[in-house]
Chains A and B, each alone.
Chain A
Amino acid sequence: MPMVNRRVNVNRIAVHAALIFYTLIATFPIALVLINSMKSRSAIFGDPVALPTPSTFDLIGYQQVLEKADFVLYFGNSIVVTTVSLLLVLIAGAMAAWALGEYRFKGNTLVALYMAIGIMVPIRLGTVSILKMIVGMGLINTLTALILVYTAMGLPLAILILGEFMAQIPRDLREAARCDGVSEYRIFTAVILPLIRPAVATVAVFTMVPIWNDLWFPLILASGDGKQTITLGAQQFIGQYVTNWNAVLAALSLAIAPILILYVVFSRHLVRGLTMGAVK
């Protein structure tokens, strides 16, 4: 008995050692940026892996970034674009997933396949047509343009995830409602929507990350006049001050922090949503 216990302990230690080892690989580069963003220029080059000490601690990078670039505004733009797109993806996606999963109608499979093409094909290949349309609609250099494109981009995967998830909801629930003569719209809003909440985190992570991090469409559709997203703002800033590592590292830290915080908030729900049968 003690033998077995010890073996279990040894195994457990090995498991933790392996996990800690890879966690270090995953987080070390990020930590490196955060650490060095708070050091003086000579210390960044002198000993990059050292933590800032009172003598090397220096926030000059942050000061320069905040002076030279409107990161608060860029951050606001990113928040607006990301949350509005996410909301639209969730609402429109849930409606479509519900229609495709719940009702049998002619062409059901065809529409489902059609909606799935977008998972496989990058929308970027159609950039010029998108730009022409956006110009035609007078939406160039607006956040609305980005929101529309991102909504289209996020829908296919959202429909897939939400569809799989809805399939798990017991049939009795909606049938009971139908027997009571409740309308289809009401079944959707009152019965189904509350039940898919756990899947929202999953969709959110898979939708938000590409939107938040996208460089391409902000560059093409909304690159000026204070409409930059934070990723574009950071890229433009890096391009402009590329040799000023204090400022660049500070800019990177400012771009990293919000998404990491959002993620930590969401991460518990992410796995719950997945394990309740979303993507299989």
Chain B
Amino acid sequence: MDSPKRNEPRSKLFEDRGVDRRDFIRVCTMAAVAVGLPASVGVKWAEAAAKGLKPSVIWLHFQECTGCTESLLRTSHPALAELILDLVSLDYHETLFAAAGYQIEDALKSAMAANAGKYICVVEGAIPTKDKGIYCKIGGRTAIDILNDVAGKAGAIIAIGSCASFGGIPAADPNPTGATGAPQILAGKTVVTLPGCPANPYNFLGTALQYATFGTLPALDDKGRPRFAYGRVIHEDCPRRPHFDAGQFVQQFGDEGHRNGWCLYKMGCKGPVTHANCSLQPFCEVPGAWPIGIGHPCFGCTEQATAFRIPLHTTVEIEHPTPPDTYPPIKADHGRISPVAAGVGGLIAGALVGAGVVASRKLAAEAEKEE
């Protein structure tokens, strides 16, 4: 690594805030590793940020509970303060901004104008479409208009949470507002969806920072979900999977199996059909801080077909029925008794017995003679 260049303007900034360059690179590196990117990427982020090349982020809120923002606020590697101050330039966020009214709408306009075609548009919340979208308005404009406007000039679009990804709770039956996800509104555009209720903040950071660093988006599946986080179903990496394979199931909450941490499949766990990395990437670095980790069945929040549609305790079909690979074969012979070896063994044993008998006879005969 190059030696610190103290005369760079960014380095001056660190000193003003009492942050050492070394600390900053460490934060970036930790962030990179936490989201599954090589540590060298962290150095690149640090260098990009030092040159002032921070990506502009415009964050839209629609029909939602702000849970995704709340969980993002609670990440610590990197902490949000570090993220919004050092790694990205958060130019519009209704929850986090001190400004309000015309002031904040001006900020939105100027950010869009300054970074047109380069900024990251993050969508949080579902978009109502019924009655021309009148059920969600900000500054006199409907959610549909705002989304089309902001997303239209964005470099990348990220839909965070189940609501923005496919409608989520607002779209649950009977869906009075005709709520839908961002990809449905922005048909034809690439929308990275990060479903989850809330979405795991690290999946967002990994996606946003990859775009910020390389200008690329991660590989996506057919529903726009990054494969690095949504490539496998919960069931495949579940810490309780051995109990599933062993046929040890919780039958009701609080029973012996539940207290012993057995499989929650019969309690309606949606793990077998839910693509997410909850078991591998704990929420906000708290191990076990996810439904199955605390003894509750997975409710399938990342799956449009499952979340808020299939009742909580209804069991699901197993998507990839994989047999456990540890059972021994039913009949396998190990080791073989060689007839030759058995013969030789018999010969040796026989010779020993024979020698013993002969020796003791001789001894008896000699003893008689002596007497």
Report whether chain A binds chain B. no
